[in-house]
Amino acid sequence: MSKNIMKKFLIIQQIKSKIGILPKHKNVLKGLGLRYINHVVKRRKNKSILGMIKKISYMLKVT
């Protein structure tokens, strides 16, 4: 049962600083709820979240 639940959610970790990145990318971080390096959030897996992750994939770790 727990494996099925985990497929619906993504665990997202910010691994890079937001200093010096594009303002649009900062807004995406804010939209995901990430605030600082090594901050971890749990988000429901849907198209909008996957698009945000794709846009700033260079600064995230997703499991």
DSSP 20: T
For the whole model, what pTM was predicted?
Answer: 0.88
pLDDT (average), residues 51-58: 98
Residue 63: both structure tokens together: 């499991």
User: Which pLDDT does position 1 carry in this prediction?
Assistant: 52
User: Which pLDDT does position 7 carry in this prediction?
Assistant: 81
Q: Where are the beta strands (DSSP E) in the chain?
A: 9-14, 40-44, 60-62
- Tell me the three state secondary structure of residue 48: helix
pLDDT (average), residues 23-48: 97
Note whether 29 and 56 are within 8 A (CB).
yes
